[in-house]
């Protein structure tokens, strides 16, 4: 049986449904913070197997709403562990398939070189007019940012400067374009192979926020699909996948 095909509007995580997808194609919904790693992993997988990963990138909460409304994604790579667990509980995914694929890290980042100071009082300085932060009710990295500032004791004072994005992708854009002088973003968005790819940043100590555990889960449209099973096995066991994930600063357990 031919299955609905997914195409991504990468910038928004929106979805278009067209015609059909042939054998060897896997439709995945991917949290915005994992965009760059998934693009690399998909390219490796296609080169190794000839199969394609059709990925849409966006906010986990938005994907959850789409999945509840019948979107035919086969796998969700979430920005948290709560959403995959909820998907299993609500019968939207295959029970027992949710498991971690990465542990995210938070960074205070600026597009300006030599700008960020590793000092908790830095965000209150006059040079910092706006701070990009993801909505803590929608984005785990936003929640981690709030927890960090609570630990620093300056959340209330800093909040007057907040520019809020509903996902970490939009939050990063605020900081990248200079609409905010700094932003609390995912390390993976600004880091590769042991260094910042641009600008300046402070990797926030992980003891200041709860672990950002990111789980994947096989969704009902991917159940008993041999292509999906093969891809998930690749994600779990391939040293190439592990190397890509670690190169973007994620933790693995």
Note the pLDDT of residue 59. 87
Q: pTM of the prediction? A: 0.85
Domains, the chain, in order of start with CATH, read 3-103+212-247 (3.40.190.10), 106-203 (3.40.190.10)
Q: What is the pLDDT of residues 98-115, one digit of tens each?
A: 999 999 999 999 999 999
Can you give the pLDDT at residue 1? Answer: 37
**226 three-state secondary structure:** helix
Q: What was the pLDDT predicted at 253?
A: 75
Query: C-alpha 83: how far from its chain's center?
Result: 13
Task: Give the Cα separation of 161 and 149 in Å (integer).
Answer: 13
For residue range 114-147, what is the model confidence (pLDDT) as tens digits? 999 999 999 999 999 999 999 998 889 999 999 9
> What burial letters (b/e) apply to 206-245, b meaning 16+ CB within 10 Å?
bebbeebbbbbbbbbbbeebebbeebbebbeeeeebeebb
Confidence of residue 23 (pLDDT cuts 50, 70, 90): low
Q: Which among 19, 29, 74, 22 has a CA at the least distance from the CA of 50?
A: 22
Give tens-digit pLDDT for 78-96: 999 999 999 999 999 999 9
């Amino acid at each position: 049986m031919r299955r609905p095909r997914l195409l991504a509007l990468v910038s928004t995580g929106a979805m278009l449904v067209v015609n059909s997808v042939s054998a060897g194609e896997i439709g995945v919904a991917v949290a915005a913070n994992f965009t760059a790693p998934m693009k690399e992993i998909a390219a490796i997988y296609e080169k190794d197997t000839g199969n394609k990963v059709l990925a849409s990138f966006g906010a986990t909460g938005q994907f959850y709403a789409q999945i509840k409304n019948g979107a035919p994604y086969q796998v969700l790579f979430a920005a948290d562990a709560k959403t995959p667990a909820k998907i299993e509980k609500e019968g939207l995914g295959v029970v027992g398939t949710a498991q971690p694929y990465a542990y995210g890290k938070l960074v205070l980042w600026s597009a300006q070189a030599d700008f960020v100071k590793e000092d908790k009082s830095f965000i209150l300085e006059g040079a910092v007019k706006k701070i990009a932060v993801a909505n803590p009710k929608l984005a785990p990295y936003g929640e981690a940012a709030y927890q960090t500032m609570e630990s620093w004791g300056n959340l209330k004072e800093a909040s007057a400067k907040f520019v809020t994005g509903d996902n970490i992708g939009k939050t990063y854009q605020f900081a990248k374009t200079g609409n905010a002088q700094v932003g609390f973003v995912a390390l993976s968005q600004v880091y590769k192979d042991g260094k910042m790819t641009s600008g300046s940043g402070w990797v926030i100590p992980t003891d200041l926020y709860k672990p950002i555990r990111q789980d994947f889960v096989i969704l009902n449209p991917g159940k008993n699909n041999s292509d999906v099973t093969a891809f998930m096995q690749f994600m779990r066991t391939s040293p190439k996948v592990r190397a890509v994930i670690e190169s973007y600063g994620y933790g693995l357990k």
